Amino acid sequence: MSDSSKPTLKGIPVVDTELRQSKYDPPDSPSSVGYTSPQRMQVADENDPLRLECGIDFFPINVEYETYGALSANKDNAILITHALSGDAHAAGWSDEADRTKRPWRSDRPGWWDSMIGPGKPFDTDRYFIICSNVMGSCYGTTGPASTDPKTGKPYGLSFPVVTVNDWVRVQERLVTRLGIEKLVTVCGGSLGGQQAIEWAILYPERVQSVIVLAATPHLMAQGVAFNYAGRHAITSDPNFNNGDYYGQNEPDKGLSVARMIGHITYLSDVSMTSKFGRRFQTSDSRGFNLDTEYQVESYLRHQGESFAKRFDSNAYLYITRAMDYYDASEHGDGDLIKALAPTLCDWMVVSFSSDWLYPPSGSEQLVRALTRTHKAVTYVALESPYGHDGFLLETERLMDIIPSFLSTLELRGKTKRSA
Amino acid sequence: MSDSSKPTLKGIPVVDTELRQSKYDPPDSPSSVGYTSPQRMQVADENDPLRLECGIDFFPINVEYETYGALSANKDNAILITHALSGDAHAAGWSDEADRTKRPWRSDRPGWWDSMIGPGKPFDTDRYFIICSNVMGSCYGTTGPASTDPKTGKPYGLSFPVVTVNDWVRVQERLVTRLGIEKLVTVCGGSLGGQQAIEWAILYPERVQSVIVLAATPHLMAQGVAFNYAGRHAITSDPNFNNGDYYGQNEPDKGLSVARMIGHITYLSDVSMTSKFGRRFQTSDSRGFNLDTEYQVESYLRHQGESFAKRFDSNAYLYITRAMDYYDASEHGDGDLIKALAPTLCDWMVVSFSSDWLYPPSGSEQLVRALTRTHKAVTYVALESPYGHDGFLLETERLMDIIPSFLSTLELRGKTKRSA
């Protein structure tokens, strides 16, 4: 029964769909941004703390970010890319040697959205200056529960404050401002990244010409909250969890692994799982009459769980899923989404994926309806897709059509000029 | 973070939907079967072992069962009710004192399908003799992993063989035969119980006049296999699991609790969760900025997980979910469902529930199509229901219309007469 002690996958093609690219551009390809290295900026210190939504004045906050392309003299060509639950600042290109040494899992693949960012790609680095930063509470360079609390000299663990999408966006605003950028051409992200785009539009109407919201809804539904809860419960039930104080010891990898399995199922659709795995067995043609990993879908899930536990921090998973639960755009309008969106000034693009049941099209339509009620410029693309929530990462071919045309429409409408 | 150390639910109405009845008939009600006590029968011993699908000749097998109503002199009025994953033989009435002492969680509610079984109810005990038995591998009286292995004098644990729906049905056949019953009026069950009904029709064509298959499909889809895997992984990752050898010690309740949470989400629908809980908080009007149980849906899930862990055995959960994974009716036709169903002789009733995504209507339709292709008598009722998979337990009002009319059609067609 001890699955984890056994060798993993035997000859089964395992695809990490969340990171899969249609094909990888090698670093020397003319369409790759090449080797990249993360940068750090402190955006809150003792003299200038950030008042978090929970009420705490917090510092220090260090942000890890990457940029691709060159900022124009007018500083009017910047785009912010926002990442989802398990993402990081490394959106395009290949990690440089120092980063590969620190984070070896990155060495075999480029940034998580490399297919979309680079010379000649939808987020064309010959034209745009692209920024991607890691969210607060994560474990990929920006201050989070694994960071050292300067007051104690130890990792924060569960003494880290509960951060929100709102906090993340205000951290990003500080970063963008300190990069000298007054107005962004667009903020684009999928899933929890899409919710950050919504929050940008609401918090900083004058600072964004447009937002692109992929596979994201104004809030998570009860079912999603429930799945997050079960995942967090798996982590906190792991005896290695030790109330979040596990750094430098055995980590709650088994619990995190179960949490990731649960999450991963919600990123796929029943259709994609059936077509990808069906009821096929891993190594034999028939049932082995045991309780081990036997079906292909089981070995796939095990691989997802185990590899995630190696690269992610359990506390970060708790904090980020909580931010996911908490987000509700309508709170800016005291529960009224139309009122919440009324002050926004940007052009909107909203894209939903038909088989997404975590952030379903009905939720995207709710957003679009509220926007049209308050007379906003909104382009809604409801994609038919079998890939479930992961569609926003897998339907790159279609996003390659949609996104550049939206960005050029912005230019036609003189929006980019106006900001200059 | 240690949820389990905190008091549960504060004033929130908690409903165990899987066991919820529209209303409870007290034991002295004329429509209740009153107090019941489980019976035991040994159906396999050293001289007459059961050859399990895994190839093992197994004994002893003791079956716990209950009966309601009286068997007619012709023994032609018997109905077998088959239970789902976490069910037991106690389908109707109230546990007698001895049983309540042994299994205290039963004391506050009647059998799991009391609304359907009793004098004047759809399974009318004034007319029919109703049998319900606990499946092999479960923890409610029939031989399972928690039973004592006579060879060692200790509980089987993981040395218990992997049992299947086919094995369960062959155990039931022995029970029914030893009760002197040649032919059943119907075999009826929902979910995994519905799959037992399908198996009865295939294995014993001459022994069933009809089967009633509720919320069950010819096989579980990849997504369901995946959820079961994540649940089992939560159990086996619990350090108390101890490779299944935990009896008399601390049990892997935390792992089982997570497994139940995952399962429970799959029994409901997004619609029912939204209408029941939405994004409402448990005790306050706004976010508490913590990682505890805050939303109503979280407290509901925690209650489901904790109460289940008190009443169910982790090993039994592993074995029964494996049987759920393994079942595929088409295997009787070498992968061809039409061929598998061709030898069946009974009348079929198939009922699906529109929002069921664990055993979805598309799977029920697959069964119905295969039956019509091979010219079987099949009545298909596709119910519009918001209750998800739990619809088969919650849509009692509608089943109260459908099932008696199906049973009376059987009589009109002379099937019950013919068998006499």
* Interval A130-155: pLDDT, tens: 999 999 999 999 999 999 999 999 99
Q: Reply yes or no on whether the pLDDT at A252 is more than 80.
A: yes
Q: With 50 as the cut, is the pLDDT of residue B382 above it? A: yes
Give the mean model confidence (pLDDT) for residues B151-166.
Answer: 98
Closest CA to A321 of A222, A214, A229: A229
DSSP E strands in A50-200: the ranges are 50-51, 57-58, 61-68, 78-82, 94-95, 117-118, 123-124, 129-133, 148-149, 154-155, 186-190
Closest CA to A287 of B360, B205, B225: B225
- pLDDT at position B8 is 32
- pLDDT above 80 (res A363): yes
Task: Say yes or no to pLDDT of B10 above 80.
Answer: no
How far apart CA B191 and CA B274 sit, in angstroms, is 23
The CATH topology of domain B8-220+327-412 is: Rossmann fold (3.40.50)
Residue B332: predicted pLDDT: 98
At residue A200, the pLDDT reads 98
Question: Does residue B13 surpass a pLDDT of 50?
Answer: no
Contact of B278 with chain A, judged by CB distance below 8 Å, is answered with yes
* ipTM of the prediction: 0.91
Q: Are B300 and B277 a contacting pair, CB within 8 Å? A: yes
Q: What is the pLDDT of residue A283?
A: 87
Residue of B nearest to A243 (CA): B1
Residues of B involved in catalysis: 191, 356, 389
**Contact at 8 Å (CB) between B171 and B136?**
yes
Q: Which residues contact B361 (CB under 8 A, 6 or more apart)?
A: B352, B353, B354, B382
Angle, CA A217 vertex, CA A213 and CA A223 arms, to 5°: 145
Q: pLDDT tier at B11 (50, 70, 90 boundaries)? A: very low
Main-chain phi, psi angles of A237, to 5 degrees:
-85, -15
The per-residue pLDDT for range B219-242, each reduced to its tens digit, is 999 999 999 999 999 999 999 999
Q: How many angstroms separate the CA of residue B282 from the nearest CA in chain A?
A: 13
The end-to-end CA distance of chain A, in Å, is 63
Q: Is the pLDDT of residue A419 over 80?
A: no
Q: At what angle do helices A253-267 and B222-236 cross, to 10 degrees?
A: 170
User: Nearest Cβ partner of A297 from B2, B222, B237?
Assistant: B222
pLDDT at A26: 93
pLDDT of residue B414: 63
Residues 285-314, chain B, touching A (beta carbon < 8 A):
287, 289-291, 293, 295, 297-298, 301-302, 305
pLDDT greater than 70 at residue B85:
yes
Interface check B357 vs A, CB under 8 A: yes
Q: Is A334 in the B-facing interface, judged by CB distances under 8 Å?
A: no
Residue B292 CA to residue B175 CA, distance in Å, equals 48
Boundaries of every domain in chain A: 8-220+327-412
Q: Please give the share of chain B, as a percent, with pLDDT higher than 70.
A: 93
Q: Which residue has the tokens 């002690």?
A: A5
How far is CA A78 from each of CA A70, A252, A398, rounded to the nearest angstrom? 9, 39, 23
The pLDDT of residue A411: 79
DSSP A145-165: TTSEETTTTEE-GGGS----H
Is the pLDDT assigned to residue B379 strictly greater than 50? yes
How far, CA to CA in Å, does B207 sit from each of B80, B84, B127, B169, B372?
11, 22, 19, 12, 21
Mean pLDDT, rounded, of chain A: 92
Mean pLDDT, rounded, for A225-247: 98
